[in-house]
A and B are shown apart, each in its own frame.
Chain A
Amino acid sequence: MKIDKKEKAVVVIGSGPGGAQVAYQLTKQGIPVVLLEAGRRIMKEEYVNEEWPAFSQMAWLDKRTMSGNARIVKDFNGLPTWLVKAVGGTATHWAGATPRFLDYEWKTKSTYGSVDGATLMDWPIDGKEMKPYYVKAEDAIGSTHRGGRPPLPANNNYKVFAEGAKRVGYKFYATGPYGTNAAPYDGRPASIQDGFNFQGDKNGSKWNPNVSEIPKALATGKLELRTNSQAVQITTDSSGKADGVLYMDTKTKALHRQEAKVICVAGNSIETPRLFLMSASSRFPNGLANSSDQVGRNYMRHLTGSVYATFDKPVNFFRGETMAGFLADEVKHNPKRGFVGGYYLETLALGPSFLGAFLDPGKWGKKFADMMDGYQNMAGMWIVGEDMPQANNRITLGSAKDAFGLPAPNVHFDDHPNDTAMRNHAYEKGEAIYKAVGATQTYRVTPYPHTHNLGSMRMSAKAKDGVVDKWGRCHDVKNLFVSDGSVMTTGAACNPTLTITALAIRQGEYLADQLKKGNV
């Protein structure tokens, strides 16, 4: 469908899990949508099963700067995140782990109490309200182990992980829930254990919006997908309502304007606040919808870290699904461990190309080379846990400019002592798992560039405490919504995409209803 730029349209910005889901929910109900996506559409035939070429094919590499005490600032300055600029968003890269929030993770302030230096806050929604949306989200993604869908089989990496976990005394391990089909589902085939989930998945067994919500929304005839179209400013009318989006053709650099009646922003936790800050005006001098001064603050990236181990026998951990291995035993809040919140351990395999870059950034010498040399006998796992929101972990507009002359975002990130305590605990447990099955060498790996980006547009009950209300609608601008993981008040221990999807389905249904009633 073609929508005139002068027509006051519903405009969605960003086609990742958040934006694509909202666009699909609206178009499904007959509401026309313009979807602006900064990247291009890469079809699965084009995906490359090699780590660096695939990375350069789709990664968001526009200029960014960094500050803060987290090691990532030194290791990967200029590349704080690992995000995708393409239709389907970062889910083109995503592995597929789909756990849910626990009930108290919606209410961390009342559960954990005050934690020095952290800006914990309760979400204005709870587990009970979200439950039906989680079911819808699992069905949308096709999570294994849920809705009667079968589990994926054990690959070699999982065998080491599960047996080690068992010997340590853990019991909550399984090959999912995971967003890649074990059996054909929703028009997509079963996994052929060809790995390369992070590179897009050529087989199309992995869920991502580019193979699901986007084609479905296009099939309604109500979607106009505009690729290579990067939003650079949201404009407002004299009443303070959003009335249009200025966007740039990233190829020709021509600037366009789309008139809008409703705007949903889903550019992920750096680009979304950046767009709001770039939309400052005399009416909104600190940035759009920023009377609370919360736009860009409380940025989270999850705990993260990895443990790799080598054994005296082959593992060949690169074969099969990238992350189909889960352990939930450490997820529960148990302050006796010396920190609040909890974490999951999940299997993870990298090829030698990525492993060399991420195993120990900046390191060289015999110990490093010896670890790499054990590649064939290696197993690996990833730590994902709740990190503390902090007011100064923050996205701002820096003085540097990107290639388009726009202010590049600066990402400030300090580790909170709770994050460090939890990471150390997880390292120990991860090593214990591998030692229980005979590891000869273990390696603690520092966080990679952030794959989970959360919280910079936090959801709050009161306008003074956050940016958006419980529907993701801006407290200050009533026809402006945020539809991605940046709304997360706190991040919980679990991988975020299932929750982003659940929130987007809920928001899409709400917005469709409001539009039909003429309330926006």
Chain B
Amino acid sequence: MKITRRELLISAGSLLAYSQLGSLANAEVNIAAQPGDQEMIASMCKALYPHDRFPMSIYMDVAAGAIKKGNADTGAKISFRAGLDGLKINKFDKMNFKKQTKYLKSIENTPFFGLVRGHTVVALYDHKEVHKIFGYQGASFDKGGYKDGEYNDLSWLPEPRIEEHPDLTAFLDDSSPKKYASLKIKKTF
């Protein structure tokens, strides 16, 4: 259920679809089962969130997850099949990036697009390899946290003050309702 719940947050408006993702099993007709289908979806994932630094294998992983969701129920299946057909007919994977973007704009309101985009933005940026490429180190607790010289290793700016400014208390304390009520309101709305 973990995947289901996380998508719950992300997929604006499609909560119901996602909450029914539990029942993936026993699908009789599977869509996107042809050779090349996963590659086609992966090219869409890449056009949506293009990163030159990411190997295609990451987008292939993401595409696999999207296809799984496309098979989740009958409703998803029929819209996914139609969307995938569209990509194929238009040879989406052979278009240049500009044309791809234009094509994606034209299908932006379809459930197929919503499913693939909603899945991709979560699965892609949650991908362990993406974290590595981004230089995101994540958890450090097991190593005793980030050490002095790590969490504060930025050296292109001067060391800042960490204590409060000596005038702060006076600044915050000077807040009598009477005094502030005398300020005139200039309404801009």
The residues of A that contact B164 with a CB separation of less than 8 Å are 145, 151, 172, 174, 176
A404 at the interface (CB under 8 A from B): no
**B154/A202 in contact, CB under 8 A:** no
Question: Using a CB-CB cutoff of 8 Å, which residues 1-47 of chain B contact chain A?
Answer: 1-2, 5-6, 8-10, 12-13, 15
Interface hit among A46-54, A231-239, A286-294: A46-54
**B134/A352 in contact, CB under 8 A:** yes
Which of B48, B101, B145, B188 has most chain A Cβ within 10 Å?
B145
Minimum CB distance partner of B117 in chain A: A364
The residues of B that contact A518 with a CB separation of less than 8 Å are none
Shortest A3–chain B CB gap in Å is 34
**B145/A193 in contact, CB under 8 A:** yes
Q: Which of A59, A175, A318, A437 is within 8 Å of B162, CB to CB?
A: A175
**A79/B171 in contact, CB under 8 A:** no
A203 at the interface (CB under 8 A from B): yes
- C-beta contact mask, A54-69 vs B, less than 8 Å → 1, else 0? 0110010100000000
Q: Which of B126, B157, B168 is within 8 Å of A163, CB to CB?
A: B157
Interface hit among B63-71, B72-80, B85-93, B175-183: B175-183
Q: Which of B49, B126, B141, B161 is within 8 Å of A353, CB to CB?
A: B126
**B5/A61 in contact, CB under 8 A:** yes
**A111/B180 in contact, CB under 8 A:** yes
A428 at the interface (CB under 8 A from B): no
The residues of A that contact B146 with a CB separation of less than 8 Å are 192-195, 319-320
A332 at the interface (CB under 8 A from B): yes
Minimum CB distance partner of A48 in chain B: B139
**B2/A56 in contact, CB under 8 A:** yes
**B145/A192 in contact, CB under 8 A:** yes
Per the bound structure, the CA–CA distance linking A77 and B14 in Å amounts to: 8
**A369/B162 in contact, CB under 8 A:** no
Minimum CB distance partner of B113 in chain A: A364
Q: A76-B9, A362-B12 are in contact. Are A194 and B135 (CB under 8 A)?
A: no
**B50/A366 in contact, CB under 8 A:** yes
**A50/B168 in contact, CB under 8 A:** no
**Number of A-B residue pairs with CB-CB distance less than 8 Å in the complex they form:** 242
The residues of A that contact B188 with a CB separation of less than 8 Å are 338-339, 417, 421
Per the bound structure, the CA–CA distance linking A116 and B141 in Å amounts to: 50
Shortest B49–chain A CB gap in Å is 5
User: What is the size, in residues, of chain B's interface with A at 8 Å between Cβ atoms?
Assistant: 73
Interface hit among A24-32, A102-110, A253-261: A102-110
Per the bound structure, the CA–CA distance linking A154 and B131 in Å amounts to: 24
A75 at the interface (CB under 8 A from B): yes
B51 at the interface (CB under 8 A from A): yes
B96 at the interface (CB under 8 A from A): no
A449 at the interface (CB under 8 A from B): yes
Shortest A346–chain B CB gap in Å is 14
A507 at the interface (CB under 8 A from B): no
**B49/A369 in contact, CB under 8 A:** yes
Q: Which of A107, A328, A357 is within 8 Å of B172, CB to CB?
A: A328
Per the bound structure, the CA–CA distance linking A194 and B151 in Å amounts to: 9
Shortest A159–chain B CB gap in Å is 5
**A319/B134 in contact, CB under 8 A:** no
A510 at the interface (CB under 8 A from B): no
- C-beta contact mask, B123-145 vs A, less than 8 Å → 1, else 0? 01110001100111111110011
Q: A174-B164, A365-B50 are in contact. List 8 more A-B contacts (CB 8 A).
A: A77-B13, A111-B177, A151-B163, A172-B165, A332-B180, A339-B188, A352-B126, A352-B131
Binding site for B on A (CB under 8 A): 49-53, 55-56, 59, 61, 74-79, 100, 102-107, 110-113, 116, 127, 145, 151-156, 158-160, 162-163, 166, 171-176, 191-196, 202-203, 313-316, 318-320, 328, 331-336, 338-340, 351-353, 355-357, 361-362, 364-366, 368-369, 372-373, 375-376, 417-418, 420-421, 437, 449
Subset of 27 A-B contacts with CB under 8 Å: A49-B141, A52-B2, A55-B5, A55-B6, A56-B5, A61-B8, A102-B175, A103-B175, A104-B176, A127-B175, A145-B164, A152-B162, A154-B160, A172-B168, A173-B160, A173-B161, A174-B165, A333-B180, A335-B184, A335-B185, A352-B126, A352-B131, A353-B125, A356-B121, A364-B104, A364-B120, A376-B136
What are the nearest 9 A-B pairs in CB distance? A192-B145, A356-B125, A417-B189, A162-B160, A49-B139, A320-B151, A194-B145, A102-B175, A376-B135
Binding site for A on B (CB under 8 A): 1-2, 5-6, 8-10, 12-13, 15, 48-51, 53, 97, 101, 104, 117, 120-122, 124-126, 130-131, 134-141, 144-148, 150-154, 156-165, 167-168, 171-173, 175-177, 179-181, 183-189
